[in-house]
């Protein structure tokens, strides 16, 4: 084999992996990187999309959104909505998973509960929003039941009052999202060797001690992974909030996604909307990097 | 094996190519983007286009149809990229933005060149002196009254003034039975409640929210309207859940006998009848301030039409606009849409055959169309801002004067 042929062969071998990867890279480039880069570009332009010759705006749009009190309110609401959702998804998911994994519950009842508990996961965000709007409307079932039980004295406008709206949408999101934790933790629970619990029994450990010293440490990798993913996904929730409250009343349920949407499609300020979208991207990116580092460390 | 092409086949192919090529050269194809086709009976808009094509040999029309919101986004992007369809369906709330992008053609020269009779159209929407839109079909917003609830409450004379409206609403309200006098949808998701359910009170009394082309929200008309709405809220006659209530929910509450009165689009008459065939309702104009005897402004939403500035076939596009605005065709189109005509001489069939529509047509003829959001910059954003301030007022966080002043400040920034 001549030197030229050998070099050609080496080149072909080196290029082969990239050729195999090229369809995926092309799709990622077209569907993910290109839109992302375009939006970043828009955030530095005046009258992006709306003008054929947009001028360079520098950081003007970032200054504008950082100077807007509604943006900071949206950020705070997003953090509250996300943190509360993740904490309660995890807690409820854990309780239900332990229940479904328990031998003390009748197997038939367990199967029925398994189906019931997973139901919220089967509904789309729009259906969930409509269900909760109907349940929580002033003349809805929830008010009627609470009034009959004497818990509230008059009708509460759950989604229409600034005092309750954010809690109400967070509650609806908690209801919609716990099954992910439940299913993941149930799978984790079924993977914990029985020997650990038998050894603990011999040592005279109580149920809560087994939970704290065996179950939770064994589930910790799943808890952290799912919590991070849930945090990233919940931060970007849009349809549930949009359909239930539209970001109102006043700005009490405005989150970053609804704030960005209004900038884009109500104000037609696509440059500022892009800047806001880039802020969401940066927050999500930070969390994603944290998630990747955690996965690598494992 | 040798493949031999028959001379006859060659001749047929050449003839077909020639026919196609000449056809393509002779025909002008107009693209017409709108959201009307899905809202009309299936095939009816296409049939009107077929009639137009038959009357105008050499012009073909391609309909680009979609839901309202999709069409709005499509038109915004088309305006930015210079790919706007030749003829576009327009909402009055969009025209200012589109005009700022130089996306709409001025129809003044076209009207002059074709000696178009401008007195035959109900309105011509102008921005910076440019005629950019004609309302083809208008959906007016009268007050719907549940006559059974009114009778039970002892309301014998339907309200004509704001004071009478408040009294009637009080009589119809029985909160213990989930029954209220009025319904006000101020959801931020679709802030059109500001236009249809709040500002309509201002326009009905022949007043305005503008002065010299600028917002005048701190003026007496708007402050009085806010004070009036606050008095309705304080009296507890408005159905609860105002801040998140949508137009659909408003209609549902009316249909289910839960509210006595609502301001709503005439386009919903058939829907209301379908949802509750037993509902006994009547239509009245929006009540006015005391001692007002002038013509009443009637809030409306419209299907507007305009021509793209980038169109290479503006002459043909103008022919289509003229065709849709002509007396007979306009009457046919608005009959299909249950709307009021853009051509003042057109008389839709339903106004003679249907009692409710006949009443509404009377209200329409004795008043005038009023929607000051038409042609304003970022109209939806302005509504959202006003909506937020109105919500704050109804929540007791500010007075009507403060709400008006804050909204004025926000609006001025957009002008």
- Nearest CB partner across the interface for B242, out of A160, A242, A251: A160
- B253-309: per-residue pLDDT in tens? 999 999 999 999 887 887 898 889 999 999 999 999 999 999 999 888 889 999 999
| Size of the A and B interface in Cβ pairs below 8 Å | 84
Of B397, B385, A249, residue with least CA distance to A241? A249
The answer on B257 and B401 residing in a single domain is yes
Question: Is the pLDDT score of B23 beyond 70?
Answer: no
Q: Decide if B237 is inside a domain.
A: yes
- For tokens 């959201």, the residue is B35
Together in a domain, B41 and B158: no
Minimal-distance CA residue of chain B relative to A157:
B241
Point out the residue among A138, A139, A248 whose CB comes nearest to the CB of B391: A248
Residue B282, strand partner residues: B145
Q: Residue A262's closest chain B neighbor by CA?
A: B381
Q: Pick the last residue of a domain from B345, B365, B385.
A: B365
Average pLDDT, stretch A60-65? 95
Give the whole-angstrom CA distance, residue B148 versus residue B150: 5
- With a cut of 50, say whether residue A261 has pLDDT above it: yes
Chain B residues touching residue A160 (CB < 8 angstroms): 240-245
B162 and B272 housed in the same domain: yes
One domain, residues B17 and B129: yes
Asked whether residue B182 falls in the same domain as residue B97, the answer is no
Per the CB < 8 A criterion, the answer to whether A228 and A291 are in contact is yes
Residue A30: CB atoms within 10 Å? 10
Residues B27 and B111 in one domain: yes
Binned at pLDDT 50, 70 and 90, residue A79 comes out as very high
Tell me how close the Cα of B200 comes to any Cα of chain A, in angstroms: 21
Per-position DSSP letters for A62-89, written without gaps between them: HHHHHT-HHHHHHHHHHHHHHHHHHHHH
CB contact under 8 A, A250 and B243: yes
Among chain A residues, the shortest Cα distance to B385 is held by A250
Q: Which CATH superfamily is domain A70-297 in?
A: MetI-like (1.10.3720.10)
Residue A1 confidence (pLDDT): 57
B293 in a structural domain: no
Residue A68 near chain B (CB below 8 Å) = no
**pLDDT score of B21:** 46
Token pair for B210: 């503008």
* Residue B322: inside a domain: yes
Q: Considering only CB atoms, which chain A residues are within 8 Å of B73? A: 265
Question: What is the SS3 string spanning chain B?
Answer: CCCCCCHHHHHHHHHHHHHHHHHHHHCEEEEEEECCHHHCCCCHHHHHHHHHHHHCCCEEEEEEECCHHHHHHHHHHHHHHCCCCCEEEECCCCHHHHHHCCCECCCHHHHHHCCCCHHHECCCEEECCEEEEEEEEEEECCEEEEHHHHHHCCCCCCCCEHHHHHHHHHHHCEHHHCEEEECCCCCCCCCCHHHHHHHHHHHHCCCCCEECCEECCCCHHHHHHHHHHHHHHHCCCECCCHHHCCHHHHHHHHHCCCEEEEECCHHHHHHHHHHCCCCCEEEECCCECCCCCCCCEEEEEEEEEEEECCCCCHHHHHHHHHHHHCHHHHHHHHHHHCCEECECCCCCCHHHHCHHHHHHHHHHHHCEEECCCCCCCCHHHHHHHHHHHHHHHHCCCCCHHHHHHHHHHHHHHHC
B389 and B406 in contact (C-beta within 8 Å)? yes
Question: What pLDDT shows up at residue B24?
Answer: 45
Q: What percent of chain B has pLDDT over 90?
A: 62
- Contact assignment for B178 to A268 by CB distance below 8 Å: no
Q: Which residue has the tokens 């086709």?
A: B37
B296, part of any domain? no
Residue B274 lies in a domain: yes
The per-residue pLDDT for range A109-129, each reduced to its tens digit, is 988 998 999 999 888 888 999
**Is residue B215 included in any domain, yes or no?**
yes
How is chain A split into domains, by residue range?
Answer: 1-31, 70-297
Best residue of A266, A270, A274 to probe chain B, by most B CBs closer than 10 Å: A266
Asked if B237 and B181 touch (Cβ cutoff 8 Å), the reply is yes
pLDDT in tens, A146-169: 999 989 888 899 999 999 999 999
Distance from CA of B306 to the nearest CA of A (A): 19
How far away is chain A from the Cα of B298, in angstroms, using its nearest Cα?
25
Interatomic CA distance for residues B26 and A16, integer angstroms: 53
Q: For A12-62, how does the pLDDT look when each residue is reduced to its tens digit (9 = 90+)?
A: 888 898 899 999 999 999 998 999 999 999 999 998 877 777 889 899 999
The reply to whether the predicted model has a pTM over 0.90 is no
The reply to whether residue A160 touches residue B101, judged by beta carbons under 8 angstroms, is: no
Tell me the nearest-neighbour CA distance from A159 into chain B, angstroms.
7
Angle, CA A116 vertex, CA A110 and CA A117 arms, to 5°: 85
Q: Could you give the CA distance from residue A191 to residue B288 in angstroms, rounded to a whole number?
A: 73
* CATH number (domain holding residue B349): 3.40.190.10
Cβ within 8 Å, pair B244-A159: yes
- Chain B residues with CB-CB distance to A162 below 8 A: 395
A126/A132 Cα distance (integer angstroms): 10
Residue range(s) defining the domain that contains residue B305: 7-138+301-365
The CA distance from B335 to the nearest CA of chain A, in Å, is 32
**Claim to verify: residue B257 and residue B405 sit in the same structural domain:** yes
In this prediction, residues B47-68 reach a mean pLDDT of 93
Return the residue matching tokens 């989930």.
B178
Beta carbons of B410 and B384 less than 8 angstroms apart? no
What would the pLDDT profile of B222-231 be if each residue is shown by its tens digit? 999 999 999 9
DSSP secondary structure string for all residues of A97-146: HHHHH-TTS-HHHHHHHHHHHHHHHHS-HHHHHHHHHHHHSTTSHHHHHH
| Range B193-223 burial, b when 16+ CB lie within 10 A, else e | bbbbbbbbbbbbbbbbbbeeeebbbebebbb
Q: CA B15 → CA A137, B10, B22, B28, B138, distances in Å?
A: 69, 9, 11, 21, 49
Which pLDDT tens digit goes with each residue over B234-264?
999 999 999 999 888 999 999 999 999 999 9
Q: Do B402 and B267 share a structural domain?
A: yes
Task: List CB contacts (< 8 A) between A46 and chain B.
Answer: none
Write the pLDDT tens digit of every residue in B194-224.
Answer: 999 999 999 999 999 999 889 999 999 999 9
Comparing CB atoms, the residue among A138, A248, A251 nearest residue B240 is A138
pLDDT(B377) > 70 = yes
Beta-carbon separation of A157 and B80 below 8 A = no
- B199 and B94 in a common domain: no
Q: Which of residues 222-281 of A touch B (CB under 8 A)?
A: 242-251, 262, 265-268
What's the CA gap between B334 and B349, in Å, rounded?
Answer: 9
Average pLDDT, chain B: 89
Which of B80, B258, B378 lies nearest to residue A267, judging by beta carbons?
B378
Q: Within a 10 A sphere around the Cβ of B353, how many other Cβ atoms?
A: 10
Total count of domains within chain B: 2
Cβ neighbours of residue A94 closer than 8 Å, sequence gap 6 or more = A181, A182, A185, A219
- Say if CB B110 and CB B309 are below 8 A apart: no
Q: Are residues B173 and B272 in the same domain?
A: yes
ipTM for the assembly: 0.81
Contact B381 A268 (CB under 8 A): yes
In a domain, B291, yes or no: no
User: Which residues on chain B place their C-beta less than 8 Å from a C-beta of chain A?
Assistant: 73, 76-77, 79-82, 97, 101, 178, 187-191, 240-245, 258, 378, 380-381, 384, 387-388, 391-392, 395, 397
Same domain, B166 and B199: yes
Strand-pair category, B87-90 with B28-34: parallel
Q: If you measure CA to CA, which chain A residue comes closest to B380?
A: A266
Omega before A249 within 30 of 0, i.e. cis: yes
- Residue B72: closest CA among chain A residues belongs to which residue? A265
- Three-state SS at A224: helix
Closest CA to B91 of B251, B304, B235, B266: B304
Inter-chain residue contact A268 with B378, CB threshold 8 Å: yes
Token duo for residue A35:
């839109």
> Can you read off the two tokens belonging to residue A235?
């931060």
Torsion angle of the four alpha carbons B219, B222, B228, B233, in this order, in degrees rounded to the nearest 10: -130
């Amino acid at each position: 084999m001549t030197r030229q042929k050998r070099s050609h062969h080496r080149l072909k071998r080196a290029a082969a992996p990239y050729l195999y990867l090229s369809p995926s890279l092309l799709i990622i480039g077209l569907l993910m990187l290109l839109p992302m880069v375009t939006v970043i570009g828009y955030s530095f332009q005046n009258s992006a999309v709306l003008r054929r010759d947009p001028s360079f705006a520098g950081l003007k749009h970032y200054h504008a959104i950082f100077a807007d009190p509604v943006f900071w309110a949206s950020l705070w609401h997003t953090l509250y909505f996300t943190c509360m959702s993740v904490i309660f998804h995890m807690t409820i998911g854990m309780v239900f998973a332990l229940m479904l994994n328990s031998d003390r519950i009748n197997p038939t009842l367990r199967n029925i509960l398994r189906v019931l508990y997973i139901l919220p996961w089967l509904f789309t965000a729009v259906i969930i929003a409509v269900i909760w709007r109907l349940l929580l409307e002033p003349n809805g079932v929830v008010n009627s039941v609470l009034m009959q039980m004497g818990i509230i004295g008059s009708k509460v406008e759950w989604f229409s009052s600034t005092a309750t709206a954010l809690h109400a949408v967070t509650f609806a999101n908690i209801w919609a999202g716990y099954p992910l934790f439940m299913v993941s933790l149930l799978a984790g629970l079924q993977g914990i060797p029985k020997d650990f619990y038998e050894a603990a029994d011999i040592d005279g450990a109580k149920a809560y001690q087994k939970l704290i010293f065996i179950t939770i440490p064994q589930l910790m990798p799943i808890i952290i992974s799912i919590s991070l993913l849930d945090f990233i996904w919940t931060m970007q929730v849009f349809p549930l909030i949009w359909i239930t409250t539209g970001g109102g009343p006043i700005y009490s349920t405005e989150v970053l996604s609804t704030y960005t949407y209004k900038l884009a499609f109500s104000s037609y300020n696509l440059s500022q909307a892009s800047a806001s979208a880039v802020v969401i991207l940066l927050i999500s990116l930070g969390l994603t990097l944290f998630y990747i580092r955690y996965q690598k460390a494992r | 094996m040798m493949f031999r092409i028959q001379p006859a086949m060659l001749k047929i192919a050449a003839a077909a190519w020639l026919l196609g090529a000449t056809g393509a050269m002779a025909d002008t194809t107009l693209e017409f983007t709108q959201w009307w086709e899905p809202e009309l009976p299936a095939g009816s808009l296409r049939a009107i286009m077929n009639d137009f094509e038959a009357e105008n040999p050499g012009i073909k029309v391609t309909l680009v149809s979609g839901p309202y919101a999709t069409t709005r986004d499509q038109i915004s992007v088309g305006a930015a990229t210079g790919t706007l369809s030749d003829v576009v369906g327009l909402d009055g709330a969009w025209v200012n933005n589109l005009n700022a992008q130089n996306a709409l053609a001025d129809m003044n020269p076209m009207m002059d060149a074709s000696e178009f009779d401008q007195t035959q159209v109900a309105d011509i929407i102008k921005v910076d002196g440019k005629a950019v839109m004609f309302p083809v079909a208008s959906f007016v917003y009268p007050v719907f009254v549940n006559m059974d609830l009114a009778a039970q409450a002892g309301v014998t004379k339907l309200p004509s003034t704001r004071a009478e409206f408040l009294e009637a609403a009080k009589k119809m309200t029985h909160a213990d039975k989930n029954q209220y006098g009025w319904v006000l949808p101020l959801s931020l998701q679709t802030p059109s409640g500001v236009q249809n359910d709040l500002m309509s009170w201002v326009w009905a009394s022949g007043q305005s929210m503008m002065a010299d082309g600028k917002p005048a929200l701190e003026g007496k008309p708007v402050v009085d309207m806010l004070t009036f709405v606050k008095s309705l809220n304080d009296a507890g006659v408005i159905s609860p859940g105002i801040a998140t209530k949508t137009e659909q929910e408003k209609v549902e509450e009316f249909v289910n006998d839960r509210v006595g009165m609502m301001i709503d689009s005439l386009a919903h008459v058939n829907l209301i009848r379908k949802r509750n065939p037993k509902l006994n309702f009547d239509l009245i104009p929006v009540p006015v301030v005391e001692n007002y005897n002038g013509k009443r402004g009637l809030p409306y939403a419209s299907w507007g039409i305009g021509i793209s500035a980038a169109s290479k076939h503006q002459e043909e596009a103008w022919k289509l606009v003229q065709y849709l605005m002509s007396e007979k065709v306009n009457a046919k189109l608005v009959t299909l849409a249950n709307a009021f005509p853009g051509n003042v001489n057109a008389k839709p069939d339903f106004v003679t055959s249907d009692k409710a529509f006949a009443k509404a047509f009377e209200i329409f003829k004795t008043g005038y169309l009023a929607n000051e959001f038409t042609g304003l910059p970022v109209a939806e954003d302005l509504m959202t801002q006003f909506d937020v301030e109105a919500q704050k007022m109804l929540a007791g966080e500010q007075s009507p004067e403060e709400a008006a002043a804050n909204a004025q400040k926000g609006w001025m920034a957009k002008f």
